[in-house]
Amino acid sequence: MSSCEGFPFVIISLMRKSSLLYIGLCLVILVWALNWIALDLYLYWTLGWYDYMMHFLGGFTLSILGVWLWGGERSSKSFLIIFLGVMILAIGFEIFEYLNNLNYLIPQNYITDTTHDLIAGAFGAALAYWLATSRPQ
């Protein structure tokens, strides 16, 4: 197995064969479906990791769409713009959750949960940026 046959490069290959927009829209549908299922089956309240996975997928999806919007250019400037854009949206979503009492946490756990949510979104955004802009050698 050569160094370009690993899992990340399979995803990179798929991204090259398909439009990042198409992949991003498929991810939007996936996140929507997983959220709908989670609300119906109370997964946010019964599986502690589910919320973090959703924030990771949200950051990943937004970053893929950001790379598509930016044109796929890999640079420090494009990473910073896309990453900050994702984080601004993530913080906005956390404010939305707080203002609409959607957190269902005891107040002492709110800061920890919000921090974990933002970290999960940041990891998703950074990984998606790396995958979408990497070039196999």
Give the model confidence (pLDDT) of 79-111 as tens digits.
999 999 999 999 999 999 888 887 766 666 788
DSSP 5: S
pLDDT at residue 1, as a whole number = 45
Contact 47, 17 (CB under 8 A): no
Residue 11 lies in a domain: no
Task: Give a yes or no: residue 1 inside a domain.
Answer: no
Q: Is residue 2 part of a domain?
A: no
Structural domain includes residue 10: no
Q: Which domain holds residue 102?
A: 18-133
What is the distance between the alpha carbons of residues 18 and 49, in angstroms, rounded to a whole number? 30
Confidence (pTM): 0.83
CB 25 within 8 A of CB 90: no
Q: Please indicate, yes or no, if residue 98 is contained in any of the structural domains.
A: yes
Domains in the chain: how many in total?
1
